[in-house]
Amino acid sequence: MLHIYNTLSRTKEPFKPVNAGQVRMYVCGMTVYDYCHLGHARMLISFDLIQRWLRASGYQVDYVRNITDIDDKIIRRAVETNRRIGDVTEFYIDAMHADEQALNVQSPDREPRATQYVGEMLDIIGRLQQNGLAYQADDGDVNYAVRGFEGYGKLSGKTLDDLRAGERVAVGSAKRDPLDFVLWKSAKAEEPPETKWESPYGLGRPGWHIECSAMSKSLLGLPLDIHGGGPDLKFPHHENEIAQTEGAFGGVLANVWMHCGPLMVDSDKMSKSLGNFRTIRQTISVGQPSDADASYRANPREAEMLRFFIVRNHYRSPQNYTPDNLIDAQNALDRLYQTLQNVAPDAQGIDWNDAQAQAFKAAMDDDFNSSGAIAALFELASQANRGADARAAGQLKALAALMGLLQQDPAVYFQSATRYSAAAIEQGGAAETLDAERIDALIAERAQAKQSRDFARADAIRAELRAAGVELDDKPGGVTQWRRA
């Protein structure tokens, strides 16, 4: 039986959806004002893995992941670049989709945009006002009265006393309490006209937190089976969502809360605010992607390396980003592909009675323990290599498919250059030292040298290719395969 760690209860629990066989899952998505960084990649891939396993387990999944397309950061980017809000958001939505495609992240079933649900947000604000949980301040903003919601802090474990310690109302603030948060922002004269909506409170726009309350309730109903997001959303975003939704409608917002772990850089979380981030496209692109183009050409070997780097760790654990860790992930993934190149897998599908398939399932049913599932894949690779076992290789490929891995043609995979290898590092991180045409020409020259019994030249060509990070594998019948080390 599937067990999931619930952030709300702080325990691992048997998963029991509201409706048997169905899962309604809402995950907080991107605020689209810039390119996605590797921390975003971890969230995207973690919840992609989760929804894949839920479907593989027989659940009918309705996976909703929203887009925040109105926000202070978006407005600031539009003003700074002299573009319309819609032009900014469309550009970065396209860029996000390009990243997802490169990382083999399946699209959510529905991808609502906040600007499509302003009416539903205003309805929730009205309900909160009627319930004594919202008030319009002198500056025109509508705020949530945190003191009025008894359960505030239950997700994060923060008490109101803890939160109030040291808090002061800022000079000029119209809030009744420093912990109160904005539901509706009164329009400012200098803001672009497309950021202003009519409302009972005057022209304005929604606060960030109210957006997800409206979209999740409108699309999936209450309670959600699973609500998820990145580690930084637990407080205040998800805490405020609970206060809004439960304050307006009663009941509970979600039965299970899930949060992936942070991606760390030298003990700090990777984030744009800290300036220590690296974008997805910087990490896996062929060449230098243009900032003027939302799309780019991804290196398929490096893209799968990044996915593997993330899924080989449990989704809740902190994960440290270093070039050495990426190289280690690339080398490990190469070993699995080498197995599939050496042993052609059969295509009979997954035999769940197999010991390693059972180990894979047990790991994934244990709070989506992907690191345990990866261990089962390596055991299958060992079995396949020991006896040229096509059945084990087939199990390896079929189980890996459930994780979005090992579906490339091994020959094509190995002919793709990578920056994340010992050879590339030795050569200064060059993405490619010899192109495929030059490699094929040298292999042809080597074949001719061997035919002419000029074995010294043939050996010299092999050494030249090895120095360039290219390994040769001579097959029966005079066929030579090559791969980048």
Binding residue numbers for Zn(2+): 28, 212, 237, 241
CA 151 remoteness from chain centre: 30
- What is the token pair recorded at 256? 């299970």
Closest to 99 (Cα-Cα) out of 243, 283, 232: 283
Question: DSSP class of residue 427?
Answer: T
Instruction: Report the SS3 class of residue 100.
Output: helix
**Residue 327 — left, alpha, or beta (φ > 0 → left; ψ -120 to 50 → alpha)?**
alpha
- Which among 220, 248, 241 is positioned nearest to 156, based on CA atoms? 241
Annotated binding site for ATP: 272
Phi and psi for 357 in degrees, rounded to 5?
A: -65, -40
d(CA 285, CA 307): 14
The Cβ of residue 163 has, within 10 Å, a number of other Cβ atoms equal to 18
Residue 303 burial class via C-beta count within 10 angstroms: exposed 0-12, middle 13-18, buried 19 and up:
buried
Q: Which residues are known binding-site members?
A: 28, 212, 237, 241, 272
Report how far Cα 381 is from the mean position of its chain's Cα atoms.
27
